[in-house]
Structure 1
Amino acid sequence: MSTPTVTEVADGVHFVQGKAVNWTLITDGDAFTLVDGGYPGDHDAVLSSIAQVGRTLDQLAAVLVTHAHVDHIGSLPTLLDGRDVPVLTSATEARHARREFLEQATPLQVAAASWRPRVLRWSLHVVSAGGTTKAGVPQATAFAETPLDVPGRPVPIVTPGHTSGHTCYHLPDAGVLITGDALVTGHATVARTGPQLLAGMFHHDAAENRRSLLQLGSLSGDVLLPGHGEAWHGSYADAVEQALA
């Protein structure tokens, strides 16, 4: 297991960079919220990140899901086994997480792009990290209020496009925006860094994803935490403009 990099980007907000995907821990007193959970193979890395912020799995109050792709929910079935912890996301994405439907790049789409060395290396990692499973999170449910009554009191912002119910989470008091895969700052399949969109094959509806990003530019804060890539510091309007350019 590679040790994840954990950075406290604001008071109680810890950005975790795994080998190929990110997640976030939001602490409040002894309790904490986990936002996303990496691949199935990231289970031990998630536990390591929790320990690095001085918490244990018994103190997990809630899990928030930006979207239900395997690289963001893969560790959750094992992590939550036998635990009565709410798993919250938008109503549409809760159905996706329960695997009532599946929106994900197909093996054929990936194979068609595997002539590119970076895509080939990434696809090999997907397999080694357990990314071919179609397992979901049966206990996923829709959030009912905003802000959410969980550590950090995040405000969910539904941003469909990457998936039909993709959701970002805004932490106004901390000045932090968690963008999942709606807006990233890098990916294993590309060399460029900075605010950007994922390749088209990763989006359920790329045009809708672009439209959804427009609502993020007016939010307050200056720290952006993507599902892939480095944390980004600056105005959200600038990040959106760069991504859409």
Structure 2
Amino acid sequence: MFHPDVSRGVHRLEHAHVNLYLIEDDDGITVVDTGFPSTSGRIEKAVARIGRRVDDVQAVILTHAHFDHVGSAKRLHERWHVPVWAHRDEKFLAAHPYRYRHERNRVLYPVRYPAGIPVLARMTVAGALWVRGIEDVALFHTPDSRPTEPLDVPGRPVPVHTPGHTFGHCVLHLADRDTVIAGDAIVTLDPYTGRRGPQIVSGAATADSVTALASLTALADTGATHLLPGHGEPWHGGVAAAVEQAVATGPS
């Protein structure tokens, strides 16, 4: 489902409970995350919905390289000849999107959290089990000693390193739009439990929940109003309030 202007010049495409975003400005479009293999055609239709062409897409950025965010990246890179950007600590995972660390055994989650079953079933139908990784990734890093520079792509997003869900996970701060694209640093739907509201993703897919919760401080420090998560509905009540709720909810 396509949702235009969830914040100024940022458009949301939701497919099988996974969100990706189109950042639009006069220079073109940046696609943030790519969903599943079957999402690529929907991305092309979303570009057309905002009156733009595929040629206007200048870059793809991955908040992280789990299979449900990297699913169409290789296809877009090869067909549209656009660079795919990711934090340098995501390089291995981008090429091998199923070989990620997680804290808890996923097998028991459908028993403990039956509300997650229909979510995971839709993701499977969308191609969650057939993702091809991508090796040709343009890498950026986020030095601790100085503020991160914006990426030279449409929208000029500033990557903020928020490790925990994965080791190279980054959110993208769009200060001029009062917005953070949060990836899975904080979500409003956990696919593994079916629970809604601001939270970190469960240990079934998170490498280190303690680190993930600690990283939320950097998210709150953006001071943004609009939080656009990788799963679930956007949150427009202030990032700091979403972080407070996620910390209170804790890991699962």
Q: Would the TM-score normalized by the shorter structure come out above 0.5?
A: yes
Distance in 2 between residues matched to 1:222 and 1:49, nearest whole Å: 25
* 2: CA distance, partners of 1:134 / 1:16: 19
> Cα deviation per residue 1:6-35 (whole Å; 9 max; x = unaligned)?
230233111222231001101112510000
Instruction: Measure, in 1, the Cα distance between the counterparts of 2:97 and 2:191.
Output: 29
CA distance in 2, matches of 1:187, 1:206: 14
Tell me the CA shift for residue 101 of structure 1. 8.2
Asked if the contact 2:16/2:123 (under 8 Å) is kept, the reply is: no
Q: Given the superposition, is the C-alpha separation of residues 215 and 30 from structure 1 closer, same or farther in structure 2, using an over 3 Å criterion?
A: closer
Pick one of 116, 119, 122 that aligns with 1:119.
116
In structure 2, distance between residues paired with 1:124 and 1:232: 25
- The corresponding residue for 2:168 is 165
| More displaced stretch, 174-183 vs 137-146 | 137-146
What is the TM-score when the length of structure 1 is the normalising length?
0.90
What corresponds to 2:144 in structure 1? none
Between 25-34 and 79-88, report the one with greater CA deviation: 79-88
**How high is the sequence identity, in percent, across the aligned residues?**
38
CA pair 213-40 structure 1, distance change in 2 beyond 3 A: same
Q: CA deviation at 1:104?
A: 5.5
Runs (5+) with no aligned partner, structure 1? none
Partner secondary structure for residue 80 of structure 2: coil
Query: Partner letter of residue 112 of structure 1?
Result: L
1:120 CA drift (Å): 2.8
- 1:40-59 to 2 correspondences below 5 Å: 40-59=37-56
CA distance in 1, matches of 2:36, 2:190: 15
Q: Which residue of 2 aligns with 1:109?
A: 105
The offset of 1:187, in angstroms, is 3.3
Using the alignment, how far apart are the partners of 1:100 and 1:199 within structure 2?
A: 18
Q: Does 1:141 align with 2:138?
A: yes
Count of residue pairs brought into register by the alignment: 241
Unpaired stretches in structure 2, ≥5 consecutive residues: 142-147
Deviation (angstroms), 1:83: 3.5
For 1:84 and 1:41, how far apart are their aligned partners in 2?
Answer: 19
**For residue 17 of structure 1, what is the aligned residue in structure 2?**
14
User: In the aligned structure 2, how far is the partner of 1:104 from the partner of 1:70?
Assistant: 13
The alpha carbon displacement at 1:117 in A equals 2.9
Give, as a single letter, the amino acid of the residue that structure 1 aligns with 2:90.
Answer: E
Listed one character per residue, the Cα deviations across residues 146-181 of structure 1 (whole Å, up to 9, x for unaligned) are: 211111000000111101111100000010101100
Q: Are 1:176 and 2:179 an aligned pair?
A: yes
Q: 1:121, CA displacement in angstroms? A: 2.4
- The Cα offsets for residues 120-151 of structure 1, whole Å up to 9 and x where unpaired, read as 32333233221113521121121267211111
Give the conservation status (yes or no) of the 8 Å contact 2:33–2:61: yes
Whether the 8 Å CA contact 2:36–2:131 is kept in 1: the answer is no
- Let me know the Cα RMSD of the aligned residues: 2.2
Residue 56 of structure 1 deviates from its aligned partner by 2.1
| TM-score, structure 2 as length reference | 0.87
C-alpha separation in 2, matches of 1:161 and 1:112: 22
Structure 1 residue ranges, 4+ long, deviating more than 6 angstroms after superposition: none
